[in-house]
Amino acid sequence: NYIAQVAPSLAIIADIRRDNLLHHLLFRALFVEAATRGEFLARWIGRPLPPAALRSAPVDSLLARAARTPATAATQAEALRVVRERVRSFGFTLSAADLATVERFHRAFIADGVRLRFTSTGRAPQWYYPTLGQLLAERDREGRQASYLASDSAFAVVRTMQREGRIVPVVGDLSGPVLDKIAALLRERRESLRVLYTSNVEDY
């Protein structure tokens, strides 16, 4: 969502967990494959592709259709196949375990669809956690929807960057040398830092 609004020339996502990189590859595969927001959402959660006329519909309409449309064995298999083949085409060295992890992430989205809620190891989801659908449809204080699926233009920003390899996952500890290495890369590319977002790492 931030990337869609800022539209940077380069976005670097650092996380201490390798799983974050693998999760990113799932999303990159979906963005590269999908020409429209409706197609993206359908492949993400393993649902049938919407009719062509609905693939650029308002995000609320896409989410409502996704909520009432069950995944079938065929649509799940197709979504998994498309992502698996696309991830392999990126040229990264991935182990069988890596590929299995990407598929496990994808299956979690397929299983719960837009009703998926955040979970963490050893703790049950809380009732007040928003669903995936609520996050994608959220509005700001002026009533505007600004997720990357809220408009064709926002989606196009992220999709173009993904297709061009300009959203880069990095595995590293922010308290270690990773920021120095990112800074060196930005200097080499003569880029200016526009946004630095640290999520909740300051808590740790």
The 10s digit of each residue's pLDDT in 177-189 is: 999 999 999 999 9
Provide the whole-model pTM. Answer: 0.92
Q: In sequence order, what are the beta bridge partners of 123? A: 120
pLDDT band with cut points at 50, 70 and 90 for residue 77: very high
State the pLDDT confidence band at 105, using cuts at 50, 70 and 90.
very high
pLDDT of 123 above 90 = no
Please report the pLDDT score of residue 38 as a whole number: 95
d(CA 76, CA 107): 8
Cα radius of gyration rounded to whole Å, the chain = 17
H-helix or E-strand containing 88? helix 73-89
Q: What is the pLDDT of residue 125?
A: 75
- Would the pLDDT of 87 be above 80? yes
Dist CA 198 CA 35 (whole Å) = 31
Nearest C-alpha neighbor of 137 from the set 114, 120, 156, 157: 114
Report residue 33 CA to chain centroid gap: 13
Residue-level pLDDT at 154:
96
What confidence tier does 120 reach under pLDDT thresholds 50, 70, 90? confident
Average pLDDT, the chain: 94
**pLDDT > 70: percent of the chain:** 100
Above 80 in pLDDT, residue 145? yes
Cα–Cα nearest to 55, from 38, 70, 42: 38
The label of the residue with tokens 């929807």 reads 145
